Amino acid sequence: MRRSLLLLISCLTLACDVAAPGSFPPEDPELAANNEAAGDPYAGRFPFDRAVAGLPDTGRLYATIVTDEGELRCTLLPDIAPLAVANFVGLARGLRPFLDPQSGAWTTRPYYDGLTFHRAVERQFVQGGRLGEDKWIGFLLQDERSVGTAFDKPGVLALANQGAPNTSAGEFFVTTEILRNLDGQYTIIGRCEPTFVARALAERTHAGERPVIETVRITRE
């Protein structure tokens, strides 16, 4: 009873901020060194506080992916994948530097604005966020494949990778079905609604279209 009361008081003191970020995974020295050698000023570890600078101090973190098909409102999960969420939010808000493959220079601008969905697997997911045909934007991220996260519903937002550990960066995908076979293979960063928008995007992409990501709007509410 006493322990329950203490937990309740603690929760009230912290405003029950269930969306508070977790801790970054311990640094992978080899990955950090490779990112530094590529010129990434953050060595693949863009700080969470920089990503959310200027947003309210508390509340859940949302990403609204605005497309020419409609909007996907995604609840982000910084408590589960703080490093990946910081990177995604920083790119979306134009705060996280990336290497522009066209100019060859590091730049900061809203990364996702004007990009497209370029890949879809029927009845599985739709994928977007690639800058041109080059997957390399100057850094790679450590995986955060947390125990307890799963592709147990449609609408899961996760970072795409190159089929090997620690190879995520800016690309993401949104699932259109339950895909438990993907559990443990990708860093999950959020959950999106409505799923009919994701399915419509997937159908268009699978048919050869390239639906446009107009912007990714980040809010804390």
In a domain, 2, yes or no: no
Q: Reply yes or no on whether the pLDDT at 4 is more than 90.
A: no
Please write the tens of the pLDDT for every residue from 68-90.
999 999 999 999 999 999 999 99
Mean pLDDT of 146-159: 91
Whether the Cβ atoms of residue 221 and residue 60 lie closer than 8 Å to each other: yes
> Is residue 172 situated within a structural domain?
yes
Instruction: Tally the domains of the chain.
Output: 1
Q: For the whole model, what pTM was predicted?
A: 0.91
In a domain? residue 3: no
Task: List the one residue out of 190, 187, 157 whose CA is nearest residue 25.
Answer: 187
Mean of pLDDT values over 164-184: 97
13 domain residue, yes or no: no
In-domain check, residue 55: yes
Tell me the pLDDT tens digit for each residue of 20-42: 899 999 999 999 999 999 999 99
Q: What is the CATH number of the domain that holds 191?
A: 2.40.100.10
Residue 150 lies in a domain: yes
Q: Is residue 4 part of a domain?
A: no
Q: Which domain holds residue 132?
A: 21-220
Q: Is residue 7 part of a domain?
A: no
At residue 116 the predicted structure's pLDDT band, cuts being 50, 70 and 90, is: very high
Using pLDDT thresholds of 50, 70 and 90, give the confidence band for residue 132.
confident
